[in-house]
Structure 1
Amino acid sequence: MARNLLKNPCGEEQLEFWELTENGGSQWKVEDMPGDSGYDFCNEEVTKYFATSFELCLKRQVIDLLAEGYSCEQLDAQPAITVEDWYCGRTDCGCSYEITVCLLDENHEVIQDFKPELVNLDPDCDDCSWKQVSHTFSDYGSGLRFISFEHGGQDTKFWDGWFGVRVTGSSVTVEE
């Protein structure tokens, strides 16, 4: 199985390794599964998640593929790159979730990106259980050297505290 290139994908080390690109409201927080008004995760090894607040919270990691041991030749062969993320809402407050993953060249210019539409979760019409988003990049051309992974969101009622989207179990893998 390919190794996950994201460090601290489930919050076991609080916010270590993540760059907080938006840290609004009560800011990012790590909580224990399942949390208030939440659901257990489908993998019992995952015991924590990142919680967002009433203003936009986004966090990012930029993966240096050469530093991770890949050669230019390996990367120019365009191996499949798979990104996965898990998100959920609370049963008592609506929220929004977003993710943007970019394949970058040596100058950090975007080669290809994955940015699905904003997801809005409403506990009145959604069970707010954990959902997975997944995407595989292929046929993106040569020059890949970095991957930027950014995700987050906020609550939709602007409640003080951590009532926004929850994220965990993120991964970025390169097909070997």
Structure 2
Amino acid sequence: MSEWKKRCAEEWSLQGAPMPDSQDWKSVYEAKPLGRNLLKNPSPHGVSKDTPPPEHDLREVPRHGPPGFEPDVDFSSWTTSTEILPYDSSGIPAGAVVCQRPRYSWFTMEQVVDLKAEGLWEELLDNFQPEIFIQDWYEESQLHESIFELHVKLLGADKSTVISEHSANPTEDRSAYSHTWKGVSHMFSGYGPGVRYVHFQHRLKNQYLNGFYGTLSSSSSVMVRPTKTSA
């Protein structure tokens, strides 16, 4: 066994995992693909789940200029888009005059992880099928009963074949406000051969009312673990 292959086997305890001699084990070892976060720029809002989310001050005077519907931070490595939602007129009596009401939007962030480019090898993904752990954190808020969605897909080599997927759309209890971070996670295991990419997407509900008030996210992660469980 080569020195680099031995280092990989020992560091990750890969008992029973296929480790072909044709693999460039030095590159695999230096990439350290197992047990680290494979997402780039996992906390673009610049906040940490280990400290309380910042409090938002509601403006009393309308903001001058056109409304902004996207947060103004560095979203490098993410593909982003905004869906501005129509006004919700439910509960407003006919003929009533409404001076102000909030305008909501969904802000979508997505990223595709190339598992082979990150150092994983085909035999491991197809035969051993290590656990792929997904985790995300979002800010509890009073903006709406639905402020966060998570959608993750395991894709084949063509980037369009969905081998496995998971979605989460939690509902907020607006009667018990604590303004903390909420975690959402999922473990992919026994997903079958052919996985080459992970498509990670989350959607955050934002509100415009005299100013921009967004839902924050933090510490998004995709981690491949050197273990496996049965399907």
* TM-score bucket of the superposed structures, by smaller chain: 0.7 to 0.9
Higher Rg of the two aligned structures: 2
Q: Is the 2:132–2:225 Cα contact (8 Å) retained in structure 1?
A: yes
Q: Is the 8 A contact 1:54 1:162 kept in 2?
A: no
Identity %: 34
Shift of 1:158: 4.9
Q: Specify which structure has the higher proportion of strand.
A: 1
Change (3 A) 1:160 1:114: farther
Task: State the alpha-carbon separation in 1 of the partners of residues 202 and 211 from structure 2.
Answer: 19
- For 1:173, the equivalent position in structure 2 comes to 223
| TM-score, normalised relative to structure 1 | 0.74
**Structure 1 contact 152–167 (Cα < 8 Å) conserved:** no
Partners of 1:72 and 1:153 in 2: how far apart?
Answer: 34
Partner of 1:111: 163
* 1:129-163, Cα deviation, whole Å (9 max, x unpaired): 101111100010000000000002214x6535442
Matched, 1:148 2:199: yes
Whether 2:131 is the aligned partner of 1:71: answer no
Equivalent residue of 1:74, what SS? helix
Give unpaired runs (5+ residues) of structure 2. Answer: 1-33, 47-72, 85-102, 227-231
- Cα gap change, 1:160 to 1:96, in 2 (>3 Å): farther
Deviation track 1:100-130 (CA, whole Å, cap 9, x = no partner) reads: 01000011211000102x2233543332310
Change (3 A) 1:82 1:161: farther
Structure holding more helix per residue? 2
For the 8 Å contact 2:140–2:182, the answer to whether it is kept is: no
Describe the shift of the 1:121–1:163 C-alpha distance in structure 2 as closer, same or farther (beyond 3 A). Answer: farther
Out of 82, 91, 104, the position equivalent to 1:54 is: 104
Normalised by the length of structure 2, the TM-score is 0.57
Match of 2:64 in 1: none
> After the TM superposition, which residues 72-91 of structure 1 pair with which residues of structure 2 at under 5 Å, given as runs?
72-76=122-126, 77-90=128-141
Partners of 2:193 and 2:140 in 1: CA distance: 38
- With over 3 angstroms needed to count, the CA separation of the structure-2 counterparts of 1:106 and 1:161, relative to structure 1, is farther
Aligned length: 145
